[in-house]
Amino acid sequence: MATSKPLSRFWEWGRNIVCVGRNYAEHAKEMGSALPAEPLFFLKPSSAYVREGSPIVRPYYCRNLHHEVELGVVIGKRARAVPQDAAMEHVAGYALCLDMTARDTQEECKKKGLPWTLAKGFGSSCPVSDFVPKEKIPDPHKLQIWLKVNGKLRQEGDTSSMIFSIPYLISYISQIFTLEEGDLILTGSPKGVGSVEANDEIEAGIRDVLSMKFKVAQ
């Protein structure tokens, strides 16, 4: 694809947002879900992106909006059926992301065996930080990610606890569909997910790297 836009603004590219679920054992447990034998993943539309300064908007059908803080991996080079040992060559960098989730809707979808699109893909369901080039993060499996709501710590996780590593995820996903430059992979949430209400302030960060703030709209 034409690369007229800089990758540092990957959220403007209109590319895929691929979200991995149940990639931390303690989060799978708090959801009452079994540990996955292979990665579970789903997609958000690229219009789900929201940047600092714009609010997170709860969809009208949701009564229980949850935060999930996740490390995002930005693809820098097309990946089609790549082996694990070459997967990191396809990474351009990272971003901190929130996988905002209409939890009540998701529970309904699970019960009915329906897809999670309504629960996961609404507008503003993917708040995203600035882009962090790969050179700034020597080991993406040694990061502490955290999230506070109104100043109170809710989530704290270490990316070393991922069930499926980043190379595994890239290799696995790229055998199902081609990952393109500008695609983003959300690598799953650590434990501590919970509700947010209108006017709450969410602050999240990667320790020693960056932090970001989002307001939940009225």
Residues near Mg ion, by CB under 5 A: 68, 99, 189
What the block records as the tokens of 200 is 């709450």
Residue among 87, 97, 103, 92 nearest 20 (CA): 97
Among 154, 170, 189, 192, binds ligand OAA (CB under 6 A): 189
Q: Is 171 in a helix, a strand, or coil?
A: helix
Q: Which does 124 bind (CB under 5 to 8 A by kind): Mg ion, ligand OAA, none?
A: none
Rule CB under 6 A: say whether 148 interacts with ligand OAA.
Answer: no
**Residues β-bridged to residue 2:** none
Rule CB under 6 A: say whether 174 interacts with ligand OAA.
Answer: no
**In the complex, minimum distance from the CB of residue 31 to ligand OAA, in angstroms, rounded to a whole number:** 5
For the chain, how big is the Rg over CA atoms in Å?
A: 16
**In the complex, minimum distance from the CB of residue 77 to ligand OAA, in angstroms, rounded to a whole number:** 25
How far apart CA 24 and CA 138 sit, in angstroms, is: 21
* Region of 19-27, 45-53, 127-135, 163-171 interacting with ligand OAA (CB under 6 A): 19-27
- Give the CA dihedral 98, 9, 135, 125, nearest 10 degrees: 10
**In the complex, minimum distance from the CB of residue 70 to ligand OAA, in angstroms, rounded to a whole number:** 6
Rule CB under 6 A: say whether 31 interacts with ligand OAA.
Answer: yes
**In the complex, minimum distance from the CB of residue 106 to ligand OAA, in angstroms, rounded to a whole number:** 6
Residues sharing a CB contact under 8 Å with residue 96, sequence separation 6 or more, in sequence order: 69, 70, 71, 72, 128, 129, 145, 204, 205, 206, 210, 212
Among 11, 18, 27, 76, binds ligand OAA (CB under 6 A): 27
Q: Which does 174 bind (CB under 5 to 8 A by kind): ligand OAA, Mg ion, none?
A: none
Residue 8's Cβ-count burial label (10 Å; 0-12, 13-18, 19+) is: middle
How far apart CA 68 and CA 11 sit, in angstroms, is: 19
Nearer to Mg ion, 100 or 179 (CB): 100
Nearer to ligand OAA, 44 or 76 (CB): 44
Q: Is 215 in a helix, a strand, or coil?
A: strand
Among 65, 72, 74, 101, binds ligand OAA (CB under 6 A): 101
**In the complex, minimum distance from the CB of residue 20 to ligand OAA, in angstroms, rounded to a whole number:** 7
Contacts with ligand OAA, residue ranges (CB under 6 A): 19, 21-22, 27, 31, 68, 99, 101, 106, 188-189
